[in-house]
Every structure is written in structure tokens, then in C-alpha cells.
Chains A and B, each alone.
Chain A
Amino acid sequence: MSGGGQAHRWIVPERLGYGAITAAVADPIQKRGPGKLWFYAVLATLPFVLLTLGAIGAVLTVGIGLSGVNTTVVWGFSIANYVWWIGIGNAGTLISSMLLLTRQRWRASINRFAEAMTLFAAGIAGIFPIIHLGRPLYAYWLAPYPNTMHLWPQWRSALVWDFWAILSYILFSALFWFTGLLPDLATLRDRATTRTGQVIYGALALGWRNSARHWQVYETYHKTMAALAVPLVCSVHSIVGLDFAASLMPGWQESIFPPYFVVGAMYSGFAMVVVIAIVIRWGLNLQAVITRAHFDVMGKVMLFASIVMTLSYATEWFTAWYGGEHPDRDVVRYFFTGDYRWFYYALIACNCVVPQALWFPFARRTLWLLAGISVVINIGMWLERILIVWNTLSHGHAMSLWRTYHTSLYDLAILFGPLGLFVLGFLVLVRIFPVVSMHEVRQISHDEGAAA
């Protein structure tokens, strides 16, 4: 980088030409075979996928008794998993749209798979409320439709809000992702050497011609979508926060919940993007377009989110004490001294202490270390969600009802199984669609004066 200095931060000098950028992204899909490693990876995900399908099948036939819930702790892994996955799902679109609106050009390399991550994660998240319904066969009652029972959904219910939030969010994210993909599908169509490739990518590209007029309309739509995505994402996770905050339970009925959930979503989502970026960069040899500078910035964002999360926890403790309500104070005491205290200490270690390593540039730029911190953050964020459920429900208003949660095998299956489903989705995706937005990287390359 001598002489260039800061000029080419987001792209490696040897790969600056438009043709070379295109080849770096498209060739792994179209020219090179998947390779042995890819097959092994797919094989490795299959047991998890079967486990997920088996667990869902079991809970649909046997019933919700398979889970470790009881009459006191009526929510459990399903809800924690739901919040965790939707959090990861929210981050993809949030990252992509916020960075687009704030003209952070480095987003070009990461936005595509961040959006894909959204699609898979939100899709997986959508399973949990349904299998946790108790009577999942009536899930469609959440939709307002003319029916012989003359019934309407209860619009004041958080479950109905969730239904609309997830539905809108998944469809919106799919459109946002596909719009960004459209010009790249045209590139794949034009580079395809087989008839099948030409037909499939040609049909998907809808006849995109890269015309100056197409680009103008495209940019209007894409930017407007980004502007809509930010409030949508915030509202979706706020609604998830309202699932708790709209109740009357100690530790839940806090006005900080919606924003605190949104930041938590961004936090775990960024951590997941970092993990995926490290794997994809290595797997597809994308060192040229996903540079260490990208990881450096993402590390800084995670550090910031970690501080906001720490502040949110502290606010939670403070308001419980300052509010003076006995049940609220008691729940906070229960956090630190109750049945789940070790999990709570682990949560604080994962979300507040370990990420402080990101103050050091060394930690942000050493990928194995950064990957480790990101995984720790994701574990911490899952612990946070399960503890929100467990602590409050195990220690509610009625002392005679105080009980703890008993984790079942089914709980573990729906915790670990969907991870395989998620990875499988990605493995398939990276073989079909470009994981980096080629047209946006070409533009960066042009704007940085890199390509001649």
C-alpha cells in the first residue's frame, strides 16, 4: 500500500480493475467447483437439519410438554431462541440500510451476505412462535380473514403484533435483498457459459440491461427502501421488546426494553456478520474485497454496542432500585444471587467484559481473536434472552409459584439444530448467488480512483 496510504482501504490494490473484481466474486460460483470442503460442510450440517425437523415434528405431534416449561415458567427456549434469531435477522438489513444512508462505502463488501443472513435468521425465528403456540394448527387465526366463527384477531395482543412484524419484515428483507442482487444477476447471466446458467440467471435478472435509466430508478428505489428499512427494523425489534414490556411482570415492564432490544439485535447481528465474513472471506478467497479495514470498523461498532448494552443493564438495575417497588428490586437481587446467577455472571462476562478487548487495534485486526470475541458475544446475547425469560418468570409476584426451569432434550434440539439449518442455507447460497455486491464494489473502485 505504499504511496496509496488511506486511498484504497476497502479494496486490495492488485484487484482493482472492474473485470478483476467481477471475476473475484463470480468465478468461485461459475468457474470453480464447490470443492471437497463444501461437501463435507454440507454433510456436517445434515444431522443438525434432521434434528431440527425431528424436533419440530415431535413438538407438533406430542405437544409443548416436550419443552422444559411449567406452569410458572411458561416461556422457555422457544422464546429466547426467537428473540435471538430475530435479533440476528434484524441486524442484516439494519447494517445494510444504515450504512447505505450514511454513505459508508465499505458496506459494499458485506451488505449482501448481511442481508442474506437476515433472510435465513428471520425465517428461522418465525418458526419459534408457531411451535410455541401450544395449538400451532390454529396459527392462521392470527390473520384477519372473514371466517364462519365471526371472530377477529385481538389487536391488543403482542402475539398479533409479532405476526405482522415478522411477516412484513421477512417479505421486506427479501425484496431489499433481491433488488440489490438484480444487477449482479445480470452479470452472472452475461458470464454464464452453460445454457442452464444463462436461462436461470437470465430469468432471475428479469432482463436487467444496466441502462443509465435503469440505474436511476434503481437508485431511487434502493435508497427509499433503505430509508424505510431503518424504522422498520427498529419497530420490529421494539415489538419483540413489547412482548415483554407490555406485561405487568417485574423486570419486564420497563420502558427501556424496546430500544435496549434494538441495540442488542444490532450487537449480536454484527457479531454474526463478523463470523460469517471471516468464514466467507477464507472459503471463497475474497481477501481482495473484504479487507482487514472492514473488520476493524466492525470491531469498533461492536465495541460501541457493548458499551450501550452495559449501560442498558446498569439502567435496568438502577431503575429497579430507584423505582423502589419491592418486586422489581427483588428480581434484580435474584439476578445476582438467585438460581441462575452463574448464567448471569457469564452474560456480563460475555457481553460487557470480553468485548472490551476491542479497544485494542490488535484484537480488531487479528481475525481468529475477533471471531472468538464475536462467538462469545453471540453466546452472551442468547444468555441475556433466556435470562430475561427465566429470571422474571421464576421470581414473579406470587411467591408460592416460584419455580425454576428444567431444560429438556427437546430444548437443546431446537437450540442447536437451527444453527445447522442456518449454515446449510448459507452453504447453498454461496454456491448460487454472488456473496459480495459486485456493482457496488466496482463503484467504490471507481470512486477511489483505483481502477483506471
Chain B
Amino acid sequence: MSAPLLAEFETPDALVRALRLVRGDGHRPLDAYTPFPVEDLAGALPPPRNPVRLVMALAGFGAAGAMYALQWYSAVIDYPLNSGGRPLHSWSVFTLVPFEFGVLAAAVAGFATMLRACGLPRLNHPVHDMPQFERASQDRFLLLVAPKDEPGPLRRRLEEAGALLVSELRA
């Protein structure tokens, strides 16, 4: 199998057009690198495994529940202290700390999940060595496509679609 091609475009619209075109030809678009999220790409590429919300919910509710349990155990079982005649299990004020702690736990867990789902931190990656790749974080739109068989027709197709530069990715 031949190496995937990386094509550089000037606008997001040109990139999306090219993507539809080459997919119509039977090539396999792998990824796109853009300086900001391009909405049309979300449906056009295979979606990533994205468990961020689920993990955040589990971590948040789990941590809040654990914190509530800790408060209950310390205030009712381990260190019962009558403060101003309030009930030992003062549930209404016991909700404050679990809320704060639950949100914090959800945030931290979500961040870790986001990095994991993106395969980060990974300081080096083959695409970093490609010409013009540094422009993907500034003002150019890059499309990575695996050719059906020979790279020749795909390269021509990408150039017709307006690619400024097409280069071969060497892993």
C-alpha cells in the first residue's frame, strides 16, 4: 500500500470540496488539520471515540457521592458533635462541598479523557515533519488521504481541486 498524501488548501471550503471529491473516487480520507474547528468536517470523517461527557458525569457524580458519604461518616459516626442543636446529619449544608468537589473532579477527569481521546500528550508525530504542516495552526487547511491503490490519480485529483501543495507522508 502506498503512503497517504497530505494536501494543502487555502480555505476550509476548498478542503471540504476536495474531501468529497476524493471520497467519491474511492480514496480514503484519514484526517484533516485546520486552524480552527470546521463544522462540515465533523460528519465527513470517521468520528473519534469521544467518551468525554460520560467520564465527566461518572467522575462528577461519583466524587460528589463520595464526598457526601465522607461528611456523613465523619459528622454522624466518627465525630458526632452537637453544634447549636443542629441535626448531626445536616443534609442541606452537606450538599455544598460535594457540589464543588464533584465539579472539580468532573473537570479533571474530563481533561484527562480529552487528552486520552486525542492521543496526547504525544510531542512528535509523523505529520509534524511534513512541509507546510506548521501552517495548519495558522492559516492553511490540510487534508490527509490514503489513496485507493496508486498515488498518481489521487495527486492529480487533489491538485485539480485546488491544492497548493501535495506531499507524501512517510511514517
Interface positions of A (Cβ within 8 A of B): 17-19, 22, 144, 150-156, 160-161, 164-165, 167-169, 171-172, 175-176, 179, 183, 186-187, 189-191, 202-203, 206-221, 224-225, 228, 231-232, 235-236, 239, 242, 439-440, 442-443, 446, 451-452
Chain B, Cβ-Cβ closest to A439: B36
Q: With A224-B110, A439-B37, A446-B36 given, can you name 5 additional A-B contacts, CB distance below 8 Å?
A: A161-B100, A212-B42, A215-B38, A216-B42, A217-B48
CA distance A451 to B42 in the complex (A): 21
List of B residues within 8 angstroms of A218 by Cβ:
37, 114, 118
Do B103 and A144 have beta carbons less than 8 Å apart? no
| Contact sample, A vs B, 25 pairs, CB 8 Å cutoff | A18-B139, A152-B74, A155-B74, A156-B83, A165-B100, A171-B104, A176-B107, A203-B123, A206-B115, A209-B125, A211-B33, A212-B38, A212-B42, A213-B31, A213-B48, A215-B38, A217-B48, A218-B37, A225-B107, A228-B60, A228-B107, A231-B103, A239-B96, A439-B35, A442-B36
Chain A, Cβ-Cβ closest to B12: A446
The answer to whether B70 has its CB under 8 Å from any CB of chain A is yes
Chain A, Cβ-Cβ closest to B35: A442
Do B37 and A215 have beta carbons less than 8 Å apart? yes
Query: With A209-B33, A212-B42, A452-B11 given, is the CB distance from A224 to B53 under 8 Å?
Result: yes
| A293 shortest CB reach to chain B, Å | 21
List of A residues within 8 angstroms of B136 by Cβ:
190, 209-210
Query: With A179-B111, A212-B38 given, is the CB distance from A155 to B137 under 8 Å?
Result: no
Do B33 and A152 have beta carbons less than 8 Å apart? no
Query: With A154-B81, A225-B107 given, is the CB distance from A164 to B139 under 8 Å?
Result: no
The answer to whether B2 has its CB under 8 Å from any CB of chain A is no
CA distance A54 to B73 in the complex (A): 42
Chain B, Cβ-Cβ closest to A179: B111
List of B residues within 8 angstroms of A439 by Cβ:
35-37
**Which of B86-94, B152-160, B161-169 forms part of the interface with chain A?**
B86-94
Do B100 and A221 have beta carbons less than 8 Å apart? no
Chain A, Cβ-Cβ closest to B19: A212
Query: With A22-B138, A168-B101, A206-B120 given, is the CB distance from A155 to B75 under 8 Å?
Result: yes
Within 8 A of A (CB), among B41-68: 41-42, 45, 47-48, 50, 52-53, 56, 60
List of B residues within 8 angstroms of A451 by Cβ:
11
The answer to whether B21 has its CB under 8 Å from any CB of chain A is no
Query: With A210-B34, A225-B107 given, is the CB distance from A236 to B100 under 8 Å?
Result: yes
| A341 shortest CB reach to chain B, Å | 34
Do B97 and A150 have beta carbons less than 8 Å apart? no
CA distance A202 to B121 in the complex (A): 10
Q: Which of A212, A219, A228, A242 has the most B CB atoms < 10 Å from its CB?
A: A212
Partner of B79, one of A150, A213, A452: A150
Within 8 A of A (CB), among B96-147: 96-97, 99-101, 103-104, 106-108, 110-111, 113-115, 117-118, 120-125, 127-128, 133-139
Do B139 and A22 have beta carbons less than 8 Å apart? yes
| A199 shortest CB reach to chain B, Å | 10
A interface footprint on B5-37 (CB within 8 Å = 1, 0 otherwise): 000001110000000000000000001111111
Do A190 and B137 have beta carbons less than 8 Å apart? yes
Do A172 and B90 have beta carbons less than 8 Å apart? no
| A188 shortest CB reach to chain B, Å | 9
List of A residues within 8 angstroms of B121 by Cβ:
206-207
| A123 shortest CB reach to chain B, Å | 16
Chain A, Cβ-Cβ closest to B29: A212
CA distance A86 to B135 in the complex (A): 40
| B160 shortest CB reach to chain A, Å | 20
Query: With A19-B139, A150-B79, A151-B79 given, is the CB distance from A232 to B103 under 8 Å?
Result: yes
Do B96 and A161 have beta carbons less than 8 Å apart? yes
CA distance A239 to B96 in the complex (A): 8
| A381 shortest CB reach to chain B, Å | 24
Do B100 and A232 have beta carbons less than 8 Å apart? yes
CA distance A227 to B86 in the complex (A): 34
Partner of B33, one of A187, A212, A232: A212
Do B138 and A18 have beta carbons less than 8 Å apart? yes
CA distance A191 to B138 in the complex (A): 9
Q: Which of A153, A209, A224, A439 has the most B CB atoms < 10 Å from its CB?
A: A209
| B164 shortest CB reach to chain A, Å | 14
Q: Which of B47, B83, B110 has the most A CB atoms < 10 Å from its CB?
A: B110
Query: With A155-B97, A202-B123, A235-B99 given, is the CB distance from A219 to B71 under 8 Å?
Result: no
| B101 shortest CB reach to chain A, Å | 6
Do B37 and A443 have beta carbons less than 8 Å apart? yes
